[in-house]
Every structure is written in C-alpha cells, then in structure tokens.
A and B are shown apart, each in its own frame.
Chain A
Amino acid sequence: MSASAAGYLARRSAQKERVRILYRRALKDTLNWAVHRHLFYKDADELRAKFDANKHVEDLDTIDRLINDAEATFHKFQHPDPYIVPWAPGGSKFCRNPAPPQGIEIVYDYGKEDKD
C-alpha cells in the first residue's frame, strides 16, 4: 500500500511540476504574441482560465492526457521569434563586448621581450 501511495505521490508531484513549467512557458509565450500590456492581460486571463478549468481533475491518467494535449497545443502555437533578455543566450547582446578603452593596446610578444 505504501509503495503505491509513494508512487501516487511521486507521479502527482511530477505532474504538478509539469503543469507549473508549462504554465510558465505558455505565459511567456503569451507575452511574445501580445506585445502590449492591455492585450497581454486579457490573453493571460484566458490562459489562466484554461488551466483553472481542469483544476479539480483527480484521475491521474486524465491529468496526463490533459497535460500532453496542452503541451502539444503550446508547441504548435509557439512564437517563432520570442523575446529573449539581451544578455541571455540567443539575445541581441549575447557574447557582444564593447570596444576596449582608448590607450589599451595588445602586446603580442608579452613575456618574450627579454629573449630578444
């Protein structure tokens, strides 16, 4: 009994994590599609309503199926060019560095001057 209870809890917590991460990604993607705040708030409320509609589902297999469907929908409607914070990988400032300050020069034979 305890093994099945532990199995139930493990599966349940894995599902909860999947839902949280899916909601997070979907919410970010909503902001990608609706670039203005007044559009975003409405879309975010709709997204939240979709998640809340199945809040009280108890059957594990049904929950799995719902999560799979939702993930499939999310992947299908993902934004092709999402907003990425500039310094993050894929962002416009990623691996970009400013020019070195005036007065700094590179000494190419650094450490070998004494041998000349």
Chain B
Amino acid sequence: MATSLRSAILRHVRVSVQSLDRFRPSSASWGPFHNQSRNLSSHGDEHLKREEVVERVIDVVKSFPKLDPSKVTPTSHFQNDLGLDSLDNVEIVMALEEEFKLEIPDKEADKIDSCDLAIEYISNHSMAV
C-alpha cells in the first residue's frame, strides 16, 4: 500500500532530466566566458613557453660584447664558462630584465649567475613578457 502510493506520488513529482546544453563550454554563444582565451587581467594570463625563454636568453647573452658567442649554451655559467667578471654578470642580468620587462629584486638578481638559472627564474616568473 505504502510503496504503491510512494511510487504513484514520485511519478508525478519527479522532474525529468534535461540536458542543459547552454551550460556546456562547447556552446560558444553563452555568457562572458565563452572565449576561453580572454585575459582577465590587464597583463594577460598567457605565459611564455620555455623554448622561447631559452632562445631569448641565449640571444641576449650572445649579444653581450665581451664574450665569444659560439661558446654560449643553455647551461653555461657566466663567470666560469664564459670568462666574465661579476660586474659583467650584473650587466647581463640587467639586459635580461630589460628583454623580459622584469623587475628582479637586487638580492635575487645577485644569485642569477648562469644561463640555466636565468632561464629557470624567467620561465617561472608570471610577469615575463
């Protein structure tokens, strides 16, 4: 008795499931988020690809006048491998800051002494462009 009553009530009360197509991300017409690549900050949410960072860091280091461009590799140490001194190191870090429009704090910039450290720092920096 109770079970038949329950099923009879539920048959009337239940709402059939409809697919809500308009909430699927594939439907491009709805809402402000339909374009997934839209930037939600003035800077932009896109990040540099690591290969691009490597290429540009190598370019900057190669264009430094006091070293031999053919020796530059993604892992070379500025002072040990490329024969620069500590002030040249400072100049290279400043050139990298200008290339990627960064502002690196002095203490952190002081620790960047090789290409792979620079690549690591810049590719992990959210503001590098």
Contact = CB atoms under 8 A, between A and B. Distances in A.
B41 A98 contact: yes
A87 B106 contact: no
A27 B107 CA distance: 15
Interface in A34-78: 48, 51-52
Nearest to B87: A23
Interface string B97-129: 000011100110110000000000000000100
A102 interface: yes
A20 B32 contact: no
Counting contact residues on chain A (CB < 8 A from B), the size range is 20 to 34
Contacts, number: 52
A17 B110 contact: yes
Nearest to B109: A24
Counting contact residues on chain B (CB < 8 A from A), the size range is 20 to 34
A48 B87 contact: yes
A23 B90 CA distance: 8
A12 interface: no
Interface string B65-95: 0000000000000000000001101110110
Interface of B: 31-32, 38, 40-43, 86-87, 89-91, 93-94, 101-103, 106-107, 109-110, 127
What 5 A-B pairs come out closest when comparing CB atoms?
A85-B103, A88-B103, A103-B32, A101-B32, A98-B42
